[in-house]
Amino acid sequence: MKTKIASFFFLLVSLTAVSQRQKEIGTKFDYDERETDLKVVLVDNYNHYMSSAINVDASMQSVNKIIIRKFDQKNQLVETFTEEFPYKDVFTLHTYLGSFELQNEKLVVFVDCYSNKTKKKEIFQITFDKKTNLFDKKVIAEYTFESITKSGTTYAMVSQNKNYIGIVYSKYANKKIAEENQCTLIDGRTGDLLWQKDVPFPLLSFTESVVLSDSGKFIFARTTKETGSQNVLAIADGNTVESKDFGKEDVKIKKPLVFSIGSNEYLIAFNNYAHGINRGEYDKVLFYDLNAGTVLKNNRVESLEKIKDLSRVNFNNLSIQNDEIYLFVDSDFKSGTKPDPTFPNSTFKVAEYSNGYPSLLIFDTKGTLTRTEDFDVLPFKEPSKSMSVMNIKGNYFLNSYIKYPHSSSFFDGIYRLNNGAIDQSLKITSLEDIKEGGIVLTKFSNYLPDAKRLIIAKSYGSNKMAFVNVLDIQL
């Protein structure tokens, strides 16, 4: 009983302390429910921007554009900039590939445009410069294809250190047509083209996933006729393609992450057995030395086996300090059904997914999973995220709704981790006391140390949002 009273008293003291911080709310602005990849970019002490894209190809109702909103220090909306996707003819289809920052000065966006009439595919690089508020548009790669159904797939990716951006166009392949990947490497600091190279593979050999290393190499995780479902690696730079395998580990890996410690590069990936009985698709996490071409460790992750209807595990944040690798992950899982957006006036249903069950996986430099911290947080429906992570001078902060002990409620806030675990006594701030209401968007969290200002966001219904400053805050 004394423990429960103490916990309740501590909870009241904690909530009272964080509610006293000065906060200011900015302009409530409208946004389109069709906007995707909403994120805060190009942040400095004077302005920040929110970028997004609408990518809808629907004949006469097509909407394809980039949207960039500029905000001042008070979170007031200053101006909105839009740029239409390149348009060739009514037969043109578009795929938004993603966006990446260039040294906090520019935002570069990649769009795949392809027309069944011309049988031509063009990859556009569209750059927004915050100094001029102007867009620059150019074609960085151009290909031909046989038909829309055989037009291939294009991927955009960035290295963990942000020094390189990669574009991979994987041509159509089947049992009779060998796979060919056309790779483009771009300087992640300037946006300049570094090299382009065709990477062909033998017949009956297929790429499962591809990722970019900190040294600017494309890492292909592949299956071949000889290995069946088991994966092998192909590592391509501007001159050579090197093959490596996983030795005696019979693995089929999910989309991997590649990072470096000094001059050594490592691959980390969730995986299961390529052959035989599995507990689940994400029951193990593999640690692989890319330089040596050897598996250091393949660790079992028991907490992920308990997630019902698990669809995917996402890498959220990775950092290295004190001879430990901190890897934050979260999970997407099926949480119900919703009307099919492709047929809005029908009774068709599609699966609906939510994001939640975040964890911190801690490894030593030999690849052993030494500890797992699971966070009891409130899940959110797609495309929202259940938490975001900030690393401020080696200290980790979560923006999330945390469940308090001896309570069925979840409380929003910024929480400082204590040795990787959530400690309610280290709650930094909350937005629950702002009278305007709304829901904290946990995917947004940016801290400006010079200004001692934390920027977070709230949503109001399905199409209105505002950014909020938490002032005089020392993280």
Average pLDDT of span 343-352? 82
- One domain for residues 290 and 185: yes
Using CA atoms, how far residue 144 sits from 95, 151, 181, 206, 255, in Å, is: 16, 8, 13, 21, 28
Residue 4, H or E segment = helix 2-19
pTM for the complete prediction?
0.92
- One domain for residues 372 and 425: yes
- One domain for residues 333 and 240: no
- One domain for residues 363 and 228: no
pLDDT of 76 over the 60 cut: yes
Task: Let me know if residue 376 belongs to a domain.
Answer: yes
Domain boundary among 300, 330, 360: 300
Task: Let me know if residue 475 belongs to a domain.
Answer: yes
pLDDT band at 347 (very low <50, low <70, confident <90, very high): confident
pLDDT of 60 over the 70 cut: no
- One domain for residues 287 and 394: no
Give the C-alpha separation, 328 to 325, whole Å: 10
What range defines the domain where residue 324 resides? 308-475
Task: Let me know if residue 127 belongs to a domain.
Answer: no
- One domain for residues 296 and 312: no
Domain boundary among 267, 300, 333: 300
Per-residue pLDDT tens digits for 396-408 = 999 999 998 888 8
pLDDT of 15 over the 60 cut: no
Task: Let me know if residue 387 belongs to a domain.
Answer: yes
| pLDDT recorded at residue 18 | 52
- One domain for residues 405 and 272: no
Contacts of residue 239, defined as CB under 8 A and 6 or more positions apart, other chains included, come to none
Give the C-alpha separation, 241 to 162, whole Å: 23
Per-residue pLDDT tens digits for 90-103 = 888 999 999 999 99
Alpha-carbon Rg for the chain, nearest whole angstrom, is: 23
437: left (phi over 0), alpha (psi -120 to 50) or beta: left
Q: What is the tally of helices (H) and strands (E) in the chain?
A: 1, 36
Per-residue pLDDT tens digits for 107-118 = 999 999 998 888
- One domain for residues 313 and 409: yes
- One domain for residues 193 and 276: yes
Give the C-alpha separation, 253 to 243, whole Å: 16
- One domain for residues 295 and 433: no
- One domain for residues 422 and 443: yes
* Total domains present in the chain: 2
Task: Let me know if residue 113 belongs to a domain.
Answer: no
Task: Let me know if residue 232 belongs to a domain.
Answer: yes
- One domain for residues 332 and 429: yes
pLDDT band at 428 (very low <50, low <70, confident <90, very high): very high
